[in-house]
Amino acid sequence: MTTVEWISSGRITCAWLCCMTAFSLTCWITTEQRWTRRSILRSQELMVGLQLLKSRNHLSAMRPRRPTIPLADWRIASDLEGSRAIQRHSAMPATGCTCAGCQRWSQIAQHVLPTDLQGQLARLGIQPEYPADLYAMGRGDGSVEYRVIYQLVGRLLSGPAAWREDAALAAKVLTYQVLRPAPQYFAAVVLPHREVPGAVPMLGEEDVGELLQIELRIHVP
């Protein structure tokens, strides 16, 4: 399976290594910096919410988890109650966002995401039209590239590695699995939230799982 690779530099995830122009790369880095500042401001609020859930036994290790759920090439054990509790949480950057990208995604998600993937997200306790965060960036061909981020509570049991060492770049690169090259490009990666550059720890290593992140990239006409 082909992969699309991204390079992490400090707290910033840089954009396409081989096909982004200098202008769009600058825009993407600016967006990443904005997200890093925004996530830091809201992380404490989400952490408080998660602690409250645990104090109410919402994340009790005694509660059974749903059996392993596939998401493309990954296998995830999801804590449904915990995952559903953090969906549309006020600390999530996209919650209540009125930007054009978020507004449009809520209208088109069910039409542009593969039907089988929508079903898999639903089984994990995720509503595809309501991501935790989202970025939209125009492309030279007139289409829009969406980077859509979902979060859930659970365990990542297996699947393609998110990071690999690149000797030529002397850095780790984030590797997206291309699930559909055309006509609408679509790629994904799944990783623990603690591995995201600049992430603030929000949920400890509970028996029921940890905070996981699903990232999708899709081109929409």
Token pair, residue 26, equals: 């600058």
C-alpha dihedral (29, 30, 36, 38), degrees to nearest 10: -160
Amino acid at 143: S
pLDDT at 33: 42
Q: Is the dihedral of CA 137, 6, 214, 44 positive or negative?
A: negative
Whole-number Å distance between alpha carbons of 80 and 118: 16
pLDDT digits (tens, 9 = 90+) for 116-167: 999 999 999 999 999 999 999 999 898 999 999 999 999 999 999 999 999 9
pLDDT digits (tens, 9 = 90+) for 184-204: 999 999 999 989 887 665 555
Q: 7: part of which helix (H) or strand (E)? A: strand 3-9
Look at residue 55 and tell me whether its pLDDT is greater than 60.
no
Whole-number Å distance between alpha carbons of 152 and 75: 13
Total Cβ atoms within 10 A of residue 175? 18
pLDDT at 40: 43
pLDDT at 210: 87
Q: Is there a contact between 39 and 59 (Cβ–Cβ < 8 Å)?
A: no
Whole-number Å distance between alpha carbons of 192 and 209: 10
Which of 105, 162, 170 minimizes the C-alpha distance to 133? 105
Q: What is the DSSP string of 58-82?
A: TT-TTSPPPPPEEETTEEEEE-HHH
Distance of CA 125 to the CA centre of its chain: 14
Instruction: Tell me which of 72-76, 93-97, 204-208 is least confident.
Output: 204-208
Instruction: Tell me which of 39-43, 45-49, 50-54 is least confident.
Output: 39-43
Alpha-helical segments (H) within the chain: 22-55, 80-86, 100-112, 115-123
